Amino acid sequence: MANNEDIPSFDDLSVFLDICETGGFRTTAQRLGLSPSSVSERVKRLEQNLGVPLLTRTTRSVSPTDAGRSLADRLLPLYQETRAALKDAASSQLEVRGLLRLNVTGAVMLDILPPLGDRFL
């Protein structure tokens, strides 16, 4: 891969992984809101960039080649972790995180703070 144009896009890789999961171009197209021809073009571009067929296509089914299965097996954990990281980042504004330190007198700590702490949590 000599330049950036040869690097497969994450979108193309995501489409490929979805096809491996669903077993079909149409199902992936519906799931991702794309046309079946767009899904097919993305896979074709990915295969051309890598120089190896990733999927075996018949009139009734689609299945990964050995190279495709190997690629999917290695990419899937990375994509799952990426999705989890993005979800955590997006939700970081929705929940309070961190350490809460309180400096209060003994009477407040015993009588007033416990009910407030329960509601806070």
If one counts every other C-beta atom within 10 angstroms of the C-beta of residue 31, the result is 15
- Give bridge partners of residue 62 from the DSSP assignment: 57
Indicate if the alpha-carbon torsion angle 47, 52, 56, 59 is positive or negative.
Answer: positive
- Domains recognised in the chain with CATH numbers: 4-120 (1.10.10.10)
pTM given for the model: 0.69
- Quote the CA–CA distance of 12 and 46 in Å, as a whole number: 6
Q: What is the DSSP letter of 9?
A: P
Question: What does each of the 121 residues of the chain score in pLDDT, given as a tens digit?
Answer: 445 567 888 899 999 999 999 999 999 999 999 999 999 999 999 999 999 999 999 888 899 999 999 999 999 999 999 989 998 888 877 777 778 787 878 777 777 878 777 777 7
Structure tokens at 75: 């990419």
pLDDT of residue 1: 45
